[in-house]
Amino acid sequence: MASDTVITVDTGPHRVSRRIVVDAPAAEVFALIANPHRHPELDGSGTVRDTPVKGPERLTPGARFSVGMKQFGVPYTITSTATDVDPDRVVEWKHPMGHRWRWDLVATSPTTTQVTETFDYSTLKVPKIMELIGYDRKNGQGIEGTLRALANRFG
């Protein structure tokens, strides 16, 4: 059974990960995450704008997609590249600056899925910069909001 309890997961240095269990089969959760046109539905950070997304309806490795964003009141567009996609298990994309967003899905039953979202900035040349500007904490809070919204969506 799912809950709206988000737990912190240690996935290594320069990674911010949170986990929740949702009341939905892994295939349903994957379908939502792997479709960049639905990313505004996932956003718990308040940064993804509800503007037309450019890209495929389902991500595959190497696929590129553009999403409207807004931070500090400034709108902009980000084009990311899918780096790892494994149906019903993994969706990961790389931001133009080099950090990655990863979703790991584990079916805990036919109707529940453990979802771990990770902001991985270990791939940056100077990952410490994310900590100095507070983006590790900020993105941790955004992940928590996203996972709670995901659980409530299926709850």
pLDDT of 4 higher than 90 = no
pTM, two decimal places = 0.94
More confident residue, 71 or 121: 121
In the sheet with 7-9, reading across from the earlier edge strand, the strands are: 7-9, 15-22, 112-120, 100-109, 90-94, 74-86, 64-71
Most confident of 2-16, 87-101, 141-155: 87-101
Q: H-helix or E-strand containing 60?
A: none
pLDDT of 1 higher than 70 = no
Q: Compute the distance between CA of residue 148 and CA of residue 47 in angstroms, rounded to an integer.
A: 16
92: Cβ–Cβ under 8 A, 6 or more apart, which residues? Answer: 82, 83, 84, 85, 100, 101, 102, 103
Burial 15-54 (b: 16+ CB within 10 A, else e): bbbbbbbbbbbbebbbbbbbbbeebeebbbbebbbeeebe
- The confidence score (pLDDT) of residue 2 equals 60
pLDDT in tens, 81-92: 999 999 999 999
pLDDT in tens, 29-72: 999 999 999 988 888 888 887 778 999 999 999 999 999 999 88
- The confidence score (pLDDT) of residue 95 equals 95
Averaged confidence pLDDT in the chain? 93
- The confidence score (pLDDT) of residue 19 equals 98
- Please name each of the domains of the chain with its CATH number: 7-154 (3.30.530.20)
Q: Looking up tokens 């240095």, which residue turns up?
A: 13
